[in-house]
Structure 1
Amino acid sequence: MRKIANAPVSFGVFELSDGPAPLGADEMVRALTDAGYDGIDLGPVGYLGTPATLGEHLGELRLAGGWADLRYSDAEQFKKGLPLLNATLDVFAAAPEGPFAPRPTLGCSGSPERFARPGGNAPGLAASDWAAYAARVQEAADRCRARGLEPAFHHHLGTYVETTEDVERLLELTDVPLCLDTGHLLLAGGDPVTALREWAGRVGHVHIKDGDPKILAQALADGVDLRELMGRGGFTPLGEGELDLPGVVRVLDEIGYEGWIVVEQDTLPGRRGVPRNIADQAANLQKLKELGL
């Protein structure tokens, strides 16, 4: 069994501290419900309300997952981020029962130089740093499990776990399931179809996202950062980039994947406008349904 969710990032909602969200949570939930989605990611803590009001805001949707960002490369900053992880888990623990438990998605803050150079072009972790980095990832995962929640680690452009090789190293050093994001892996030079097949035993969560390597190449040539890449449309509507979407769906069937599939189209607030964002996400779901999901 699989269920399909969407996420606030598809509407440019990343951090509430950036200013007013481009659309309110209740409006987003209505739009995704009307489009036929089963669930939604959490977004920034507080966007979908408090633990006490989460169920009211979700309506018919169920919580699929949500981003919990930590600086695994820096011991002091990692410790400073743990209270936010705890606050995120408080919300998850209050989520109404659904077809699958929501997955805390362990995100990896990037260093300044990696954030500025998406696409596998920045220096990775030194070999001597991997053990400590992985130990902090494992600690975060164990904290999630202590709350009765199974996490998944999200590889990401502009971070220390970006390329196929980075992901494989992390999988070797931890027992954490992987949130495989097709768009981030594609733009990091990987093959999402092959990765799904080869990492099947460790894939615990799936983000389906398309990407345009041509837009990435121009962004790299211009020296812009990851945020600007999103602003330029580096993550496209499904079918408009270079992701082998039919291949992804086929392999999900082959490996018998069960769980949440989260459609994402990372963008910046106001880039396409709320009506276009809503139409894009309805069309993205329709493409997946046409392929048999």
Structure 2
Amino acid sequence: MIRIANAPVSYGVFELARPDLVALPDGEQLARWISEAGYQGIDLGPIGLLGQGAELDERLSRHGLDLAGGWVDLPFAGEDEEFAAALAGLDRTLDVFVTAAERGQDLAPLPTLADSGSPARKARPGGAPELTLRGAAWERFADRVNRAAARVRDRGLEPTFHHHACTHVETPEEIDALLASTDVDLTFDSGHLLIGGGDPLPDYRRWRERINHLHLKDARTALLHDALAADDPMRSVWEKRVFVPLGEGDLAVDALLDEIAASGYSGWLIVEQDVVPRSTADVERAVAEQAANREALRRWFA
């Protein structure tokens, strides 16, 4: 079973948002837009955006949506005290996922673990060999990932790990190391893989048995060069609209979706098109583009 979801980040609701320039949608608006576009699920977004406890359950039910997953970044390469504090806070976040799982969804939500990155990684989207963790630093990172994954499983949930731009798991080499060093499965993100120098179709085939969550996004990698020259390269990646509607970037969308449909994958496929709206027109554009993205998927997933 494959179910199709979307995420608040597709409408500009995430940590790089510019609420000083434009009012962003609240949880109720997002749930309505995503439901009306024909999606079956929604990603969590910032904790509390969709509500918690009974409010979350009521909102999802009213809009005919299930919770698909949600970003949970931890400082896996940080100082011991920093990581310990973040790990303790993970339990509060998992309460939200437990509420959704207890709704009896056809597919349970997957807490989506990710690394918080570092200033050096945020200054170099796409990664670089000299920024890759190795030796004892990598062993400590992997051990912490395993500890966080165990914490998720202790709550009756299945974790997944998201490779992501500007973090310590970004390039294909780093993803290979993660899969070899931990027991957590992978959120395969086609757009972030393009930015990290991967090739989504062969890499999907190579990692297929460890993929338990999908983020589908398209990207224009030519814009990465311009972003690297900016004062804030990470922000520039998003504000320059590196992520574009399906079919408008470098992703071989048809070939990848053919492969996914034929591969026996079962789980959530979450469409993400990270944007940073700067005007009301940009928000309206995001609503229209996510509806178009859903229609484009009906060839494979009604």
TM-score bracket, normalised by the shorter chain, equals over 0.9
Tell me the distance in 2 between the aligned counterparts of 1:292 and 1:48. Answer: 26
In structure 1, stretches of 5+ residues that fail to align are none
Q: Residue 9 of structure 2 aligns with which residue?
A: 9
Tell me the distance in 2 between the aligned counterparts of 1:17 and 1:231. Answer: 10
Give the alignment of 1:227-238 within 5 angstroms. 227-238=235-246
Contact 2:16 2:276 in 1 (8 A): no
Is 2:180 the partner of 1:177?
Answer: no
Is 2:118 the partner of 1:114?
Answer: no
Displacement of 1:220: 1.6
Displacement of 1:24: 1.2
Contact 1:5 1:262 in 2 (8 A): yes
Q: Residue 85 of structure 1 aligns with which residue?
A: 90
Contact 1:69 1:85 in 2 (8 A): no
Seen in structure 2, the aligned counterparts of structure 1 residues 16 and 147 have a Cα distance that, compared at 3 Å, is farther
Tell me the distance in 2 between the aligned counterparts of 1:193 and 1:105. Answer: 22
Displacement of 1:126: 3.0
Tell me the amino acid that sits aligned with residue 14 of structure 1: F
Q: Residue 152 of structure 1 aligns with which residue?
A: 160
Contact 2:16 2:235 in 1 (8 A): no
Displacement of 1:226: 1.4
Tell me the amino acid that sits aligned with residue 105 of structure 2: G
Is 2:98 the partner of 1:67?
Answer: no
1:239 aligned to which of 234, 241, 247: 247
In structure 2, stretches of 5+ residues that fail to align are none
Tell me the amino acid that sits aligned with residue 41 of structure 2: G
Displacement of 1:76: 2.1
Q: Residue 24 of structure 1 aligns with which residue?
A: 26
Displacement of 1:52: 2.6
Give secondary structure in 2 for the equivalent of 1:229: helix
Contact 2:4 2:270 in 1 (8 A): yes
Is 2:278 the partner of 1:270?
Answer: yes
Seen in structure 2, the aligned counterparts of structure 1 residues 219 and 15 have a Cα distance that, compared at 3 Å, is closer
Tell me the distance in 2 between the aligned counterparts of 1:191 and 1:143. Answer: 32
Contact 1:13 1:22 in 2 (8 A): yes
Q: RMSD value over aligned CA atoms?
A: 1.8
Q: Residue 289 of structure 2 aligns with which residue?
A: 280
Q: Name the % identity.
A: 47
Tell me the amino acid that sits aligned with residue 119 of structure 1: G
Tell me the distance in 2 between the aligned counterparts of 1:12 and 1:85. Answer: 24
Displacement of 1:72: 0.2
Tell me the amino acid that sits aligned with residue 134 of structure 1: A
Contact 1:9 1:267 in 2 (8 A): yes
Displacement of 1:119: 1.0
TM (norm. structure 1) is 0.95
